[in-house]
Structure 1
């Protein structure tokens, strides 16, 4: 879960956390990805797939990129084991005091197995779907990983409660460390200036979505709500930032609705461009079916822009009546009404941004504290 050439928006929060941690400790990042057969029917369909070359680098962190063989669905029960076998000699050579892994299964499971074999503690970080959207064997393996980890990190209190309730996590081992943001990138700024830089109409009305183009992000409901609003407001535009397996289907749906000129799709863009688009727009919307602690919402608030989002996961820990509106998931009518209300309301943009101050350095400090606590506990026993 790190940014890759074919999907620069993926895992940005882990990259930021690792980069800040590297300023506090000696950090080696083992970036393992699955390698699927070069056969169309044996390639994953739930995410954008691409191979990561060995020698791949990322700013601010020491990366060792490698892969292991996998098959969609078929190898799911084995992925954690295979990943562990490939990972172990690399970690063993580094000789860490503690192993920190993100994404509970298969990555976290592999890390726990390696840490146990090497006699060091392991902290596993859960991000959202790896807790909220599990089924079949993934549920079993997620439960095993959480039971074996020395500590579990969650990005919201809602996720902490879910891990305890649904997976039997011991409360004393679960720590909520909410995401931060890059304060030098996501900050208030002139909407007019941002629109001029992006070539947007100065008197237009713009809504922005930032996320993966997958069904669970609510993009179909968003298009339905937008089409209704667009019929009443000729100046309204929708900006879709990101990419995903549904891109072609979404574009076909947009074309069929006759809205191609009113839906802008910049694609997956770097953080500086994301921030510029957010500042240029009137609001950000994220109608997901589930979330951990959505960074897009944090970044919008940090830029002083209101949010219309679904009341799922930790979103309610960010959004309240002063900076946005929450709606139920999969409810097009409530989403449409909330978007209209948010567009028409006068917001205190400076006040919205003022309340968001958490940085990735804060996240790194708290993460290191948990790592240090499990190391100290292991040395006592």
Structure 2
């Protein structure tokens, strides 16, 4: 079966790299022919536009709706955005039609790839949609009309599709309330390639800790997008301000990049955290397990919002696979993801509760060790090879 995924971003972003590419790899191993058609943030400067990764045919076919990688992005004006979006949609649609796919899987119900999927499906191929975020609530918009357009596609495209995959129960229930029958829905949370996350090279971890100036310092890590709105880094800084007073030797390593990084670094400096917070920047995806292992625990800071409930954090499953216990808020699927033995659940949106949870793990080595073992065991539930089996049943739905 030839399966085409339509993505509005590149492999530099978490969802294509951490969700659709791993799923496509396992579909290739199962005998399918998966294609990842993507838009790129600097398409005009891109030299390598077509390549194959473990049986997955990848191609960049046009410009993304923003220019530049997170942390250095330039947003288009309204007229530029309309033109770029239309060209991107047509490029995705034409590339799909040329492939004559059996399946067209729109990776996020957004206007650009949604339009491409609908157009391409007129020439053949069953239309499916993957919902991995609450798009109208989780993104920044330049105007109210942009948000309304995204919200319309997010609600209407699943109704046009033969089947819909989701990564959280929040999205499953939301779509069911919109009228999507349960037999057309598949719950496939974000997963992890266990083999790529363990075992750790202890020497590399020790060398990295030394390079970061971490000796005997209790250390927490955050790995993800640097965003005050969607990923709670603002909340984490507030919590670390409180924790520093109790554990002055503790260190926080923030790994990743994003548009809010300069403002959040300033925010941290204003709270006197220059010596206790290390901003590591973007690291290669293959290096993530070693960076996670630098920490005694990892943190997924979260507010109690619909956007947070709709998210299945890759940082949680990756941390569990790396044997690093997680501190996060009780929102969405997070309690079920951790279970009883993979980390601590705290009250969401509360910097005092978050600081207490982090301090609890940093100060109790025996409990950390027990939770680390539990995290590795819990990660087995989120192996991509198991989740891909559920994903494939979506394509068995009859018209």
Does the alignment reach a TM-score above 0.5?
yes
Equivalent pairs, count:
358
Match for residue 179 of structure 1? 190
CA separation in 2, counterparts of 1:342 and 1:151?
Answer: 42
Relative to structure 1, the CA distance from residue 18 to residue 245 in structure 2 (aligned partners, 3 Å threshold; closer, same or farther) is same
Could you give the per-residue CA deviations for residues 6-27 of structure 1, whole angstroms, max 9, x where no partner exists?
A: x465632222222222333112
Contact 1:206 1:237 in 2 (8 A): yes
Taking structure 1 as reference, are residues 175 and 108 closer, same or farther at Cα in structure 2, changes over 3 Å only? farther
Q: What's the offset of the Cα at 1:353?
A: 0.9
Q: Which residue of 2 aligns with 1:29?
A: 36
Answer whether contact 2:184 2:394 (CA < 8 A) is retained: no
Residue of structure 1 equivalent to 2:71: none
Query: Aligned equivalents of 1:261 and 1:9: distance in 2?
Result: 29
Aligned to 1:240: 254
2:282 aligns with 268
Counterpart of 2:72 in structure 1 is none
Calculate the TM-score normalised by the size of structure 1.
Answer: 0.84
Partner of 2:218: 205
2:360 is the counterpart of 1:354: no
How much has 1:127 moved relative to structure 2?
Answer: 1.0
Three-state SS of the structure 1 residue aligned to 2:122 is helix
Counterpart in the other structure of 1:37: none
Per the alignment, in what secondary structure is the counterpart of residue 48 of structure 2? Answer: coil
In 2: Cα distance, 1:105 partner to 1:324 partner: 34
Shift of 1:133: 3.3
Of 99, 112, 133, 1:128 maps to 133
Give the deviation of 1:250 after TM superposition: 1.6
Residues 221 and 294 in structure 2, CA contact (< 8 A), matched pair in contact too: no
Indicate whether 1:143 and 2:137 are aligned: no
CA distance in 2, matches of 1:162, 1:77: 29
Residue 97 of structure 1: how far off its partner (Å): 0.8
Match of 2:241 among 217, 223, 227: 227
SS in 2 for 1:100: strand
Shift of 1:298: 0.6
Change in 2 beyond 3 A, CA 1:190/1:26:
closer
**CA distance, structure 2, for counterparts of residue 77 and residue 250 of structure 1:** 31
Distance 1:173 1:82 in 2: 31
Corresponding residue for residue 63 of structure 1: 58
User: Is contact 2:10–2:39 with CA below 8 Å preserved after alignment?
Assistant: no
**Structure 2 unmatched runs, 5+:** 1-6, 66-75, 140-146
For the residues of structure 1 that align with 2:317 and 2:246, how far apart are their CA atoms?
30
Report the CA distance shift for 1:248/1:10 in structure 2 as closer, same or farther (over 3 A).
farther
TM-score, with length taken from structure 2: 0.80
Question: Which 10-residue stretch deviates more, 57-66 or 136-145?
Answer: 57-66
Q: d(CA) in 2 for partners of 1:239 and 1:315?
A: 22
* Equivalent residue, structure 2, for 1:105: 110
Structure 1 equivalent of residue 17 of structure 2: 12
2:181 and 2:346 map into 1 onto residues whose CA distance is 31
**2-side partners of 1:274 and 1:68: how far apart?**
27
Please name the residue that 2:325 is paired with: 306
Matched, 1:283 2:297: yes
Provide Cα deviations, 1:163-191, integer angstroms capped at 9, x if missing partner. 223x4333221110122212122235476
- Structure 1 pair 132/161, CA: closer, same or farther in 2 (3 Å)? farther
Aligned to 2:207: 196
Counterpart in the other structure of 1:335: 354
1:334-372 Cα offsets, whole Å, 9 max, x none, are 21222222323413122321232132233333323312x
Tell me how large the CA RMSD over aligned residues is.
Answer: 2.8
Distance 2:9 2:152 in 1: 28
